[in-house]
Amino acid sequence: MRTLFGKILLWFLGAMILTIAAVVLTTALTFNVGEQRQPPFGATLRLQMREARQAYEANGAAGLAAAMERFHNMFPGQHIFVDAQGRDLLTGKDYSKLLAEARTRPLIPFVRPHVIARPTPDDKYWFLVVLSRRESAFWFLQPWHLWIIGLVMLLSYALARHLANPVRRLKEAVDRFGTGDLSARVKMRRADELGQLAGAFNQMADRTESLVTAQRRLLQDISHELRSPLARLNVAVELARSAADPEPNLDRIQKEADRLNALVSELLEVTRAEGDPSHRRTEPVRLDEIVGEVVADSEIEAHALGCRIDFAARPEITVSGDAELLHRAVENVLRNAICHAPKDTAVQVELDQQNGTARLRIRDRGPGVPEQALPQLFEPFYRVESDRGRSSGGVGLGLAIVRRAVGIHHGTVKASNAQPGLAVEIALPVAVRL
Which has the closest alpha carbon to 274: 207, 325, 211? 211
Do 337 and 310 meet the contact criterion of CB atoms below 8 Å apart? Answer: no
Phi/psi-derived region of residue 332, left when phi > 0, alpha when psi is between -120 and 50, beta in every other case: alpha
Which has the closest alpha carbon to 327: 298, 357, 348? 298
Rounded to whole angstroms, the Cα distance separating 405 from 349 reads 19
The one-letter amino acid at 367:
P
Phi/psi-derived region of residue 77, left when phi > 0, alpha when psi is between -120 and 50, beta in every other case: left
Rounded to whole angstroms, the Cα distance separating 3 from 165 reads 11
Rounded to whole angstroms, the Cα distance separating 205 from 160 reads 27
Question: Is 72 known to be catalytic?
Answer: no
Which three-class secondary structure state does DSSP give residue 258? Answer: helix
Query: Among 145, 162, 224, 303, which one carries the catalytic annotation?
Result: 224
Rounded to whole angstroms, the Cα distance separating 185 from 176 reads 9
Residue 378 backbone dihedrals phi, psi, to 5 degrees: -100, 10
Angle, helices 247-273 vs 323-340, to 10°: value is: 140
Helix H or strand E segment including 202: helix 193-242
The sign one gets for the Cα dihedral 27, 32, 33, 36 is: positive
For residue 374, give the DSSP letter.
G
Instruction: Please list the active-site residues.
Output: 224
